[in-house]
Amino acid sequence: MLKHARAEVALLFGAIFFALNAIPAKLLMASGLSAWRLTELRTTGAFLLILIIVLIKNPSSLRVTKSEIPLLIAFGLVGFAFVNVFYFAAVAKMQIGIALIIEFTAPIWITLWLRFARRKHVSSLMWWGLTTAFAGLVLLSQIWQGLTISGVGLIYAFIDAFSLSIYFLLGENLLEKKPNEVIMVWGLGVSTLFFAIVQPWWNFPFSVFTKQVALEGRYTGHFVIGFLLVLWLISMGTVVPYFLVFRGLHKLSASTASVIGMLEPIFGGIFGWWFLRESLSTVQLIGAAVVLVGIYLADRAKLSATVA
């Protein structure tokens, strides 16, 4: 019982740190750093830190077979590079809470894939979840008023959700063969290499490290040096929460972990409101709650389809 409680606490703090990470990310992008460069910085820094940890603990665990390489490349590109870059791009265009809620519709798309691509049976919960989540998204976007949130941000958020779905599906396959931290090293390593090729480091705006970044919202008028935001982004915003989440997943079922993970959009909305003074209308708050209910129902349907 105590082990389960510790695992739940680990997942809870993982969700908190992931949600809080959007604040320094949004501030860095507001200061001129693109979502692509921000993702490059995050994945490269996290890769180096986790690589050092694994090399100290068990370097031989990093060996892979030729048949595993294509899956690891796909996992790194979609699961780390695309998930991160489109999340940051969405956060730059809309409220943190909304971006996270749309990202977490991933269980819905996974369930639909299991039903129509894998031909697995899913319960009526899937249809209830899909309908509920769609209704919530309509309320969230207030489309009858001509779409009150960024259309571009909405596109980025949905691409992020689809990428996260692929991340979960590929990760589930890889976890049957490799430890969590090894998968992280390879995934982040592929993402690091990808960004180093498409946007070489010699063109990186290193001035961000010494730049005085202006704070927003509650702390408007104050500044913080970019290096501190980057340090948080890599360590407390990436490495620490990943390890917390993976620790929790070792002790809890996927269904329990996914329910706790749904707290991330809630925390994201709270932090966005507190630090950046981002706010939602009453209708949008109701829509956010409805979407979370739909995600919960779809996740239960996904679990039954996987078990069947």
Give the pLDDT confidence of 18-37 residue by residue, as tens digits. 999 999 999 999 999 999 99
- In this prediction, residue 222 has a pLDDT band, given cuts at 50, 70 and 90, of very high
Query: In degrees, to the nearest 5, what angle opens at C-alpha 40 toward C-alphas 69 and 75?
Result: 25
pLDDT surpassing 70 at residue 134:
yes
Cα 20 versus chain centre, distance: 12
Structure confidence at residue 306 (pLDDT): 57
Q: What is the phi/psi pair of residue 249, to 5°?
A: -65, -25
In angstroms, the Cα distances linking 6 to 50, 78, 108, 143, 242 are 22, 31, 28, 42, 16
What's the pLDDT score for residue 304?
64
* Contacts for 229 with CB less than 8 Å, ≥ 6 apart: 24, 27, 28, 213
Distance of CA 279 to the CA centre of its chain: 21
Give residue 185's pLDDT.
93
- pLDDT of 233 reads 95
Assign 3-state DSSP to the chain and report helix, strand, coil percentages, each to 5.
Answer: 80, 0, 15
How do residues 81-105 score in pLDDT, each as one tens digit?
Answer: 999 999 999 999 988 888 888 888 8
pTM: 0.88
11-15, 255-259, 270-274: range with lowest mean pLDDT: 255-259
| Cα separation, 67 vs 91, whole angstroms | 36
CA distance 144 to 151: 14
Supply the pLDDT for residue 282: 86
Strands (E), the chain: 212-214, 223-225
The letter for the amino acid at 138 is: V
Which residue's structure tokens are 């389960």? 4
Q: Would you place residue 206 in the very low, low, confident or very high pLDDT band (cuts 50, 70, 90)?
A: very high
Q: In Å, what is the CA distance from 173 to each residue of 61, 126, 166, 176, 180?
A: 17, 22, 11, 6, 12
pLDDT(106) > 80 = yes
DSSP-assigned letters across all residues of 168-209 = HHHHHHHHTTS-HHHHHHHHHHHHHHHHHHHS-GGGS-GGGG
Q: What is the mean pLDDT of the chain?
A: 86
Q: Given this model, what pLDDT does residue 86 score?
A: 96
Q: Is the pLDDT of residue 146 over 80?
A: no
pLDDT of residue 45: 96
